[in-house]
């Protein structure tokens, strides 16, 4: 027992001795900042496993959009980084009827601007190529499309002064009605969707990617199905998820619960694994891109370009998880502050404290 205690003390001494005293003091200052309300927090150096900072890292917190790290990881894990989705339109034995068979493309759009800007596939293209615009009335049977896609198609047809009747059928019925393929759309690889979902915190896309992973395993796409899917993905990746509760793939639910430890373990597992590199590539860079473009500029200028992270907030929770480097070492971190007041000022103060805490690590030269 005494030898074990001595070993623990020696290990702690080694960790502490590698961090400048002024940095330890500053880190402690921000970890205990009133604006963060005792967050779930963990910072680790993956190179040697040293814990740089820890505050209730095993406690279950509301992750907000940081949950997207889990849903996108699960999608890449079960679907593969090269996965694409195809949507096609077919003629039927009636000249005014068509069949659209899809694969529930998570990123399909009827917005031409978004299609051109992001590389999303433009659904109305199928209508155009099937020559439906020469008709005043059309009936469209469909399977494998989201209801939002159908709503958008109805709006499109109306804009072209075409009366459209849409009938949902199962895949077998769609196959039996289809006569000849007229056009098809194949999405960009799932890696591009992941990059976008992480960079811009796209709630719908992230949720759909998580549900696509659930369907791949034969699970329902409700909260129970997502729970099983995410637990299995993390388990197979070697990430501990004790107590984790998930209700969506976006992080919007206030009932989601994940620990900072789970996120940091996940970040360490995926960092140098090619299968998940699109997550890192999609991460906003502090002071430069995405949801972090305006962060650190005034709060911790020395951290600009040194932080790659996913941000999030919902109600009383402000979160961030990712990587921070000091020029020599890169650290994986997660900060889940879910006890703050649900006001704009409180959220701003929490973000400022997070920025400055990471700024301390950047200049700490551990």
Count structural domains, the chain: 2
Q: 11 pLDDT exceeds 50?
A: no
Mean pLDDT of 209-222: 98
Which residue, 157, 188, 219, sits at the end of a domain? 188
Domain extent for 24: 18-80+192-364
- Same domain? For 110 and 245 the reply is no
Q: What is the pLDDT, as a whole number, of residue 15? A: 42
Same domain, 298 and 149: no
Distance (Å, rounded) from C-alpha 82 to C-alpha 90? 26
Tell me what pLDDT residue 130 has.
Answer: 80
Residue 243: which CATH number? 3.40.710.10
Please report, for the domain that includes residue 126, its CATH number. 3.50.80
From CA 105, how far away is CA 149, in angstroms rounded?
Answer: 10
Angle separating helix axes 223-236 and 68-79, nearest 10 degrees: 70
Boundary residue ending a domain (188, 215, 244): 188
Q: What's the maximum distance between 2 C-alpha atoms anywhere in the chain?
A: 86
What pLDDT score was predicted for residue 8? 41
- Lowest average pLDDT, out of 22-26, 213-217, 293-297, 299-303, goes to 22-26
Separation between Cα atoms, residue 52 and residue 16, nearest integer Å: 8
Count of C-beta atoms within a 10 Å radius of residue 157: 22
Residue 138, domain member (yes or no): yes
Residue 363 vs residues 195, 303, 309: alpha-carbon distances, Å: 29, 8, 18
Helix and strand totals (H; E) in the chain: 13, 12
Instruction: Give 52-65 pLDDT, tens digit per residue.
Output: 999 999 999 999 99
pLDDT at 154: 92
Note whether 235 and 292 are same-domain residues. yes
Average pLDDT, integer, range 205-220: 98
pLDDT tens sequence across 290-334: 999 999 999 999 999 999 999 999 999 999 999 999 999 999 999
What is the full DSSP assignment across 305-330?
A: TTEEEEEEEETTEEEEEEEEE-SS-E
Shared domain check, 104 and 53: no
Identify whether residues 184 and 202 lie together within a single domain: no
DSSP designation for 84:
-
Same domain, 75 and 219: yes
The answer to whether residues 215 and 340 belong to one domain is yes
Lowest mean pLDDT among 9-13, 101-105, 134-138, 275-279: 9-13
What Cα–Cα distance (Å) separates residue 283 from each residue in 75, 189, 195, 326? 16, 17, 7, 18
Q: What is the pTM of this model?
A: 0.90
136: left (phi over 0), alpha (psi -120 to 50) or beta: alpha
Which residue, 159, 188, 217, sits at the end of a domain?
188
């Amino acid at each position: 027992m005494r030898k074990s205690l001595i070993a623990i003390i020696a290990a702690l001494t080694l960790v502490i001795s590698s961090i400048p005293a002024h940095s330890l003091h500053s880190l402690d200052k921000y970890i205990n900042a009133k604006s963060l309300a005792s967050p779930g927090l963990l910072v680790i150096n993956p190179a040697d496993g040293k814990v740089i900072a820890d505050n209730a890292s095993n406690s279950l917190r509301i992750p907000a959009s940081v949950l997207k790290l889990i849903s996108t990881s699960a999608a890449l894990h079960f679907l593969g980084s090269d996965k694409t989705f195809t949507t096609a339109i077919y003629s039927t034995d009636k000249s005014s009827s068509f069949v659209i068979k899809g694969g529930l493309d998570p990123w399909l759009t009827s917005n031409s601007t978004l299609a051109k800007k992001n590389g999303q596939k433009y659904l109305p293209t199928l209508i155009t190529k099937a020559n439906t615009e020469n008709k005043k009335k059309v009936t469209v049977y469909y399977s494998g499309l989201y209801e939002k896609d159908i709503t958008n198609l109805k709006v499109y047809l109306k804009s072209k002064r075409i009366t459209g009747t849409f009938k949902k059928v199962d895949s077998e019925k769609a196959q039996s009605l289809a006569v000849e393929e007229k056009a098809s759309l194949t999405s960009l690889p799932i890696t591009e969707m992941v990059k976008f979902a992480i960079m811009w915190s796209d709630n719908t896309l992230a949720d759909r990617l998580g549900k696509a992973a659930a369907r791949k395993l034969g699970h329902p796409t409700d909260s129970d199905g997502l729970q099983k899917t995410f637990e299995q993905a993390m388990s197979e990746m070697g990430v501990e998820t004790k107590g984790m509760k998930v209700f969506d793939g976006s992080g919007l639910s206030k009932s989601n619960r994940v620990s900072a430890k789970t996120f940091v373990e996940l970040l360490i597992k995926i960092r140098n694994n090619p299968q998940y590199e699109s997550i890192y590539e999609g991460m906003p860079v502090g002071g430069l891109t995405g949801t972090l473009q305006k962060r650190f500029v005034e709060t911790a200028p020395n951290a600009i370009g040194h932080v790659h992270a996913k941000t999030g907030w919902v109600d009383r929770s402000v979160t961030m998880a990712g990587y921070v480097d000091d020029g020599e070492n890169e650290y994986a971190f997660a900060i889940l502050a879910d006890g703050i007041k649900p006001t704009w000022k409180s959220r701003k103060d929490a973000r400022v404290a997070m920025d400055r805490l990471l700024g301390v690590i950047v200049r700490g030269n551990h």
